[in-house]
C-alpha cells in the first residue's frame, strides 16, 4: 500500500476542513467552466508582463 492509498489519521475537524476545501475547489472550477475568461484581442504577445509583481519589458523590470 502506498502513502496515497493509506488513509490519513487526521482529527475530525481537519477532515471536515479538507472536505470543505475540496468542495470550494470544485465550485470554483465549475464557475470558471460556466463563465470562461474572455480572449484578449490586440493584447501583448507572450507571457504576462506583470507575472512576478513587477512590470517587465525587454528584460528590464520596473517595481511598482
Q: What is the pLDDT of residue 28?
A: 92
In a domain, 3, yes or no: no
pTM for this entry: 0.47
What backbone torsions phi and psi does residue 56 show, to the nearest 5 degrees?
-120, 130
Residue 54 counted as domain residue: yes
Note down the domain range covering 38.
12-61
The pLDDT value recorded for residue 25 is 97
Let me know: does 31 contact 39? Beta carbons within 8 Å: no
Of 47, 54, 49, nearest to 62 by C-alpha is: 54
Identify which of 17, 53, 25 has the alpha carbon closest to the alpha carbon of residue 8: 17
- Residue 30 in any domain: the answer is yes
Cα Dmax for the chain? 53
Provide the number of structural domains found in the chain.
Answer: 1
Confirm whether 33 is domain-assigned. yes
pLDDT tens for each residue of the chain, 64 residues long: 566 655 668 899 999 999 999 999 999 999 988 988 788 888 777 777 777 777 777 777 777 5
* 53 is a domain residue: yes
Amino acid at each position: 500500500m502506498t502513502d496515497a492509498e493509506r488513509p490519513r489519521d487526521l482529527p475530525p475537524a481537519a477532515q471536515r476542513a479538507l472536505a470543505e476545501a475540496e468542495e470550494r475547489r470544485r465550485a470554483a472550477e465549475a464557475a470558471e467552466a460556466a463563465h470562461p475568461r474572455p480572449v484578449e484581442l490586440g493584447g501583448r504577445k507572450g507571457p504576462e508582463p506583470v507575472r512576478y509583481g513587477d512590470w517587465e519589458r525587454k528584460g528590464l523590470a520596473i517595481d511598482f
